[in-house]
Amino acid sequence: MKIELICTGSELLAGKLNTNAAYIGSKLLSLGLNLSYITTVGDKKSELCAELQRACGRSNIIIVTGGLGPTFDDITVESVAEVLGIETYAAENVLNSIKEFFAKRAIAEIPKINERQANVIKGAKVLENRFGTAPGQMIHFEYKEGEKKIRKTIFLFPGPPREMQPLFDENAEPFFKSYHSGIRKNEALRIFGLSESAVAEMIKPVMEAAGFGEGGAVEFGILASGSIITVKYSVSGSDEMLVDDIAGNLKFELEKVLDGNIFGYGSDELADCLGKILIENKKTVALAESCTGGLVSKKITDTAGSSIYFKSSFVTYSNESKIKLGVKEETLQNFGAVSEETAKEMAECALNAADGDYAVSVTGIAGPGGATKEKPVGLVFIGVASKRETNVFKCSFHGTRKDIRERSANTALDLLRRKILNDGAAKNAKKMSAQILKGKKK
């Protein structure tokens, strides 16, 4: 069975991010299904009709997003009707729903132009849109291939993701579940601290042992987004116990080779995982940021409940603000704001000021200006302080100013994550050694 997605809208051809394709693709994957084609087409009726004709000939199920609005460039319904050779009609119940939508917003009379959205293809099932005025539609039709007639389906969804997603979940997902055959388990490992090529080399023996590339039941994928690498794998089969067993073994083997570089699973973010570790270890953190300008703090506080472990943040962008925090003036004069020494003092001053368990500092040159031969753009020092010790890490990042700030913030989160885990492991090892020695004395 082939499933095809057509995304309409000239804005998608002009650089607007197409989140609908990613959403639908991931939803289908979770059901053990895949998109065979994804096409983006502008708001020209001739081009959309041509793509619809092509899709009807090669796919069993066609999903169309966008083009259901009230304006002249919203041409999806009339284009689909023309390609299928089916008339449209003004659905009174849909028009009443549109009127109710406006009435709830204290608009007594709907704009005349919105009446176009009540046009429905004859025989289509109307899919209620609770978040906008454009209803979705589902049309079953017969397509002739030689002497045979094949039943096919077209879904029409509005383009805005906040409208499309609930419509898809409520209508298309149950429909696709009826086509789901067999069992498919999907997993994703989230990795930080390694390059995409390094991860690929490390997991290659695991992939080969699993029979990847031989048309088997196991599939792998690697995705790099900034400095975060995601390894995806899926296992398919008809025996759920066997599928679970294979998936569990794969997870074990991947964790073994990737070790502490895995920070989470699925769609986990670094800051969320760090928060869980802080809570589990009953620790708190404070920050002193310079070149990241509060970005690390934002990432941490984007997580609900972060007040449990987040003490305070100091954005010390200027030398004056660093001195007010407690950094020595002679340190700045002798070594500069971007230096190991300044990063060390920033972290220790933040730790003392907040009276927390850990503190992280970030100071560097995000560019595009401010660099010297000795201190190029991308040079960043990150300090991680605890009440026992302070470590400073020298980093060299590449890319735009935004890239450097993003990588600096993620690296700061990851260094703190590793520090807490290592401290916890060392504490447990020390405790275990003490228990062994105590047992020997007895």
Taking only the tens of pLDDT, the chain with its 442 residues reads 899 999 999 999 999 999 999 999 988 887 878 899 999 999 999 999 999 999 999 999 999 999 999 999 999 999 999 999 999 999 999 999 998 888 888 887 888 999 999 999 999 999 999 999 999 999 999 998 888 899 999 999 999 999 999 999 999 999 998 876 677 888 999 999 999 999 999 999 999 999 876 557 898 989 998 789 999 998 988 888 999 999 999 999 999 999 999 999 998 999 999 999 999 999 999 999 999 999 999 999 999 999 999 999 999 999 999 999 999 999 999 999 999 999 999 999 999 999 999 999 999 999 999 999 999 999 999 999 999 999 999 999 999 999 999 999 999 999 999 999 999 887 777 676 666 656 655 5
CA 260 to chain centre: 21
CA distance 49 to 67: 13
* C-alpha to C-alpha distance for 411 and 408, rounded to whole angstroms: 5
Backbone angles phi, psi at 393, to 5 degrees: -115, 130
Q: Report whether 222 contacts 200 (CB < 8 A).
A: yes
Q: What is the DSSP-derived secondary structure letter of residue 7?
A: E
What are the backbone dihedrals phi and psi of residue 276, each rounded to the nearest 5 degrees, phi first? -65, -40
Written as six digits, the tokens of 141 are 């039709």
E strand map for 277-422: 285-289, 310-315, 358-364, 379-386, 390-396
Q: Is 343 exposed, middle or buried (0-12, 13-18, 19+ CB in 10 A)?
A: buried
Single-letter residue type at 118: A
CA distance 258 to 190: 10
- Which segments of 97-246 are extended strands (E)? 119-121, 125-127, 136-145, 148-157, 183-192, 218-225, 228-237
Q: Which residue has the tokens 């300044």?
A: 342
Burial class (CB in 10 A: 0-12, 13-18, 19+), 427: exposed
369: amino acid identity, one letter:
G
Half-sphere exposure of 270 (CA within 13 A, CB side): 27
Rg (alpha carbons) of the chain, rounded to whole number: 28
186, β-bridge pairs = 234
pLDDT at res. 184: 80
Residue that the structure tokens 């590339």 belong to: 213
Sheet holding 3-8, edge to edge: 35-41, 3-8, 61-65, 148-157, 136-145, 125-127
- Could you tell me where the beta strands, DSSP code E, fall in 204-302? 218-225, 228-237, 262-265, 285-289
Using CA atoms, how far apart are residues 74 and 76, in angstroms rounded to an integer?
A: 6
Residues 255/187, Cβ–Cβ less than 8 Å: no
b or e along 352-391 (b: 16 or more beta carbons within 10 Å of the residue's beta carbon)? ebbebbbbbbbbbbbbeeeeeeeeebbbbbbbbbbeeebe
* CA proximity to 283, closest of 201, 359, 348: 359
Residue pair 12/18 in contact (Cβ under 8 Å)? The answer is yes
Q: Which domains does the chain show, CATH number per domain?
A: 3-177 (3.40.980.10), 183-265 (3.30.70.2860), 270-428 (3.90.950.20)
pLDDT at position 29:
80
CA-CA distance, 32 to 35, in Å (whole number)?
11
What span, in angstroms and rounded, lies between the C-alpha atoms of 315 and 324? 11
